[in-house]
Amino acid sequence: MAISLRNLSVDYSLPQGTAHALRGVSLDIQKGELLGLVGESGSGKSTVAFALMGLLANNARVTSGTATIDGKSFDLTKRNATASLRGRGMAMIFQDPMLSLNPVFTIGTQLCEVLRRRAPGSDRKTRVAMAEDALDKVKLGNPRRRMGQYPHELSGGMRQRVVIAMALLSEPALLIADEPTTALDVTVEAQIMREIIGLRDRIGCAVLLITHSLGLVTEYCDRLSVLYAGERLESGTVKEVQRQPGHPYTRMLFDCEVPIDRERHADASENRFTVIAGDLPDPRRRPPGCIFNGRCDVSFEACATVNPDDYPVGKEAQHSARCLRLLTP
Amino acid sequence: MSGLVATLKRICSERDGRLGLAFTLAILVFALVGPLVSPDPNAIDIKARFAPPELTHLLGTDNLGRDLLARTSVGTRYALTLAVMIVVISSVIGSLIGIVAGIASGWVDRAVTAAFDIVNAFPPLILAFALIALYGKGSATFVLLVTVVFIPQFGRMARARAQTLRTLSFIEAERMLAVHPVTIVVRHYLPNVAGPIIVLASMNLPVVIAFEASLSFLGFGVQPPKSSLGTLIKDGFVSINQSWWPTVAAALVLAIATLGATLLGEALRRVIDPKNAVVR
Amino acid sequence: MSKSQRIAIFIASRLASVVLTMAGATLLLFLMVRLVPGDFTSVMLGPRATPELRAQITHDMGLDRSMIEQLWLFASRAATGNFGEDVVSHRPILDIVLDVIPNTLALAFSALALALIVGIPIGIIAALKPGSWLDSGLALLSISFITTPTLVVSVILFLIFAIGLHWLPVAGAGDPGDIMDRLRHLILPSVALALGWVGYISRLVRAALLDTLAELHVRTLRAYGVSEYRIVGLYALKLALVPVVSILGIGLGDLIGSSVVVEIIFARSGIGSLIFNSIAQRNYPVVQACVVFIVAFYIVANLVVDMINALLDPRIAAGRG
């Protein structure tokens, strides 16, 4: 069964005014599918995750949004709409594994805590066994020893494996991974991503991977959605979007990536990088028209006044983008 | 000056700050104005002893018929003066020692830290006791000895701050440019240490006030004929069976003074110290 | 390096610094006393001074030997508990001190226990609903507790119960044989001592709890659906108690210091009143012995606090955190 998110809008009330962090974001993830949610800092991608989990900060308000998970509908404007799913239907992996684990309790205690919720009524021995099994599955050597260790005794990569083990134990229908590798070395990144995929293979859950790294998405994800300044601009399969980006922003993002075999000049200062000029718009005041207008290199007059709907891109099903250029073939 | 006004405004913007400022000002006014509007604090009038509050004696009289309003305000004034002196001296000396220790490191640092640890190994009241018992009573000695008790606190704070600053790049840059050490200290260390020290000083003020009151109560602080709130409480306590009013009057003023100073100090802390910002 | 090895090293290094501090404090004490202006024996004996007595004291206390020898004498004797004999009563000073210590200890511990029992729950309640009227009210209450000096609290309590209501005894420590009586005599002094700490501990617990609850690992627990009560009571509390435990060490020292005032007002015998009276009688050897005891106790209390901290937060024993 699928996960679908419709029309999610979130406001943050700040001393300087109300910031409309998310505006009408919609997503779909199939069972067993890895969806990459890509966006730069400030695009609001983490907010999507927290809104789904019901973990938004106190100054945040969900003004609209419904989520359907495994057939059940949840009205996200209510604060604890998805509370019943926590630890059972949904699991989340956070960015910094050091901060995500309680420093004064052992790994074992924290894993077993998840099991209390997932398998109520089980006795301690069963829980310990299940926890050790999970640690084994994420390829953490010597699980018994790990159970008695504290987070600070493990390296960053190992801690993230523990966090994945926690998610494994809760057997979710939806796994949200919020920048799971950003705080880790590049060498560890591949291992952790493989673990996440392994989890998906084992449980068959839907995975929402939130990241700023296009490289990660193109390498591991099935589909992707592009988020910019709180709005979804494009969605499609990774292959299709790469082949034929529907939105100028997506195209520019791909252009910014430096291929590893690109020619380099002898004088290092001659190397040129593609950048997207300009800044994010003020979240308190959304300008009329397309949100990307102003930084777009192919915009025309109508872009400043008309807010584009979702239009299909190419002939591939489920590839769509919000750009007026798609109206003219 | 504008900084001062801005600080005052920020303090008044929260309830605790307003209360603290109000109480402190009330006490200050009481201490300064009191003697002017009341009879001579030393005028003994046995016939009027232990009188409750009335028109001629707004706060009543003590065991010797002396006007309590006059005595309490004089006592408050003296107590505040002593406390401020002690806090100022110990914070200045403590900061200097702390900065030197923080910069110098090595054996100087170790020696200073050991000295602080040793002084702190004694509960403050006991240490003050022992020192005063051995080296004599009297206000001058009192200020000196109590200052010693409070120096380590300021020293520790200054030292910690100095150590943090020492590793900052702009200080390293200046050292490499061979700027004279004293100049570096004055231009960079002092302004950055001043903030936390001022906050610590304002938070210690009520502590010192209570400290002096306790010592004076036990006879170790202010000596007659001078009086402070502590001695007034003692005088009242001795004859508490005949009238509870003198004791309560002095105790109440002490409580309000410490409450006001604490609230003000806390408000000041919130204003001055937004997470240890560094002044360049 | 195994866990127990690390803990052993931690304990050893703490013990070493404790011994050093104790040595330094003893030295300071010794110097303080010896450097009293004027002739030591005359000052000490006061009006009782006769040439014969002075000679005897000089000899007994080793004042006729070199400073180094005196220091060694003092330190080595003190370490074995030999503080000499009291000039007035001829009882071993050690006994005099040991007689009164239990009273003060009982007072200090019951005050501390009271402060914890009342203060921690108040802090938890305030942290569960930050910003509410309840929180503001408790805050005001706590602050007034903290700022009112022990002197004032004791005096007011004494007034209320000595002059006004006569529910509780206001003087003495009670009949030695009767536990209930002793407990009744403990109530007022303990409350007087504990009040300030109730306020302080409740503010501390509230702040530490709020800080901990904002940390990201709590977010993980919430993400997995763990109930808020379990989070606060089990996980957050353990971390939040670390600063509270640290304070306890200082608290014990402060309590012993403040106990002087309380012991005088409530006419309890204890190390505080012993020091006070000995100072009044210029009985410096007794004062010296008392201070040594108090300092030793204070240092040991801080050591115990460090140990407990290391147990609560394993990062400390590992050298980080």
Residue range B51-61: mean pLDDT, rounded: 72
What pLDDT is recorded for position C257?
75
C 169-228 → A contacts, CB under 8 A = 215-226
Between helix B190-217 and helix C237-265 the angle, nearest 10°, is 40
**Ramachandran region, residue A278 (left: φ > 0; alpha: ψ -120 to 50; beta: rest):** left
What pLDDT is recorded for position C125?
86
| Residue B4 or residue A132, greater confidence | A132
Residue in C218, C220, C224 nearest the CB of A117: C224
Q: Which pTM does this prediction carry?
A: 0.69
What pLDDT is recorded for position A292?
87
Residue given tokens 């010192």 in the structure block: B208
Q: Which of C247, C263, C242 is nearest to C185 (CA)?
A: C263
Is a pLDDT exceeding 60 seen at residue B280? no
Structure tokens at B17: 């700050």
CA distance C177 to chain B (A): 30
Are the CB atoms for A211 and A36 separated by under 8 Å?
Answer: yes
Instruction: Find the closest chain B residue to C25 by CA distance.
Output: B118
What pLDDT is recorded for position A300?
83
What pLDDT is recorded for position C117?
92
Q: Which of C21, C32, C136, C147 to mutate to test the interface with B (most CBs of B within 10 A)?
A: C147
Radius of gyration of chain A (CA): 21
| Regions in chain A scoring below 70 on pLDDT | 1, 329
pLDDT in tens, C157-193: 888 887 777 777 767 766 677 777 778 788 888 898 8
Residue in C143, C152, C279 nearest the CB of B254: C152
Chains in touch with A (3+ beta-carbon pairs under 8 Å) read C
How many C-beta atoms lie closer than 10 Å to residue B181's C-beta? 12
Instruction: Find the closest chain B residue to C37 by CA distance.
Output: B135
Are the CB atoms for A312 and A326 separated by under 8 Å?
Answer: yes
Q: Which of C277, C243, C256, C268 is nearest to C120 (CA)?
A: C243
pLDDT band at B274 (very low <50, low <70, confident <90, very high): low
CA distance C314 to chain A (A): 6
| Regions in chain C scoring below 50 on pLDDT | 320-321
Question: Are A and B close enough to touch, i.e. 3+ CB pairs under 8 angstroms?
Answer: no
What pLDDT is recorded for position B275?
47
Nearest 10 degrees: CA dihedral of B192, B194, B199, B205?
A: 160
pLDDT band at B278 (very low <50, low <70, confident <90, very high): very low
- Environment class of residue C25 by beta-carbon count within 10 Å: exposed (0-12), middle (13-18) or buried (19+)? buried
Residue range B246-269: mean pLDDT, rounded: 86
Between helix C284-312 and helix C237-265 the angle, nearest 10°, is 160
Structure tokens at C82: 């030999």
Phi, psi dihedral angles at A298 (to 5 degrees): -125, 25
Separation between Cα atoms, residue A6 and residue A68, nearest integer Å? 8
Question: Are B and C close enough to touch, i.e. 3+ CB pairs under 8 angstroms?
Answer: yes
Phi, psi dihedral angles at B222 (to 5 degrees): -70, 135
Separation between Cα atoms, residue B235 and residue B246, nearest integer Å? 8
What pLDDT is recorded for position A329?
64
pLDDT in tens, B149-192: 899 989 988 888 888 777 776 667 766 677 677 777 777 778 77
DSSP structure class, residue B121: T
In this structure, are strands A90-93 and A174-178 parallel, antiparallel, or unpaired?
parallel
| 3-state DSSP helix/strand/coil % of chain A, to nearest 5 | 35, 25, 40
Q: Do A86 and C223 touch (CB under 8 A)?
A: yes
**ipTM metric:** 0.77
pLDDT in tens, B33-54: 776 776 676 777 777 777 777 7
pLDDT in tens, A122-132: 788 888 888 88
Q: Do A100 and C217 touch (CB under 8 A)?
A: yes
How many C-beta atoms lie closer than 10 Å to residue B113's C-beta? 16
What pLDDT is recorded for position C320?
43
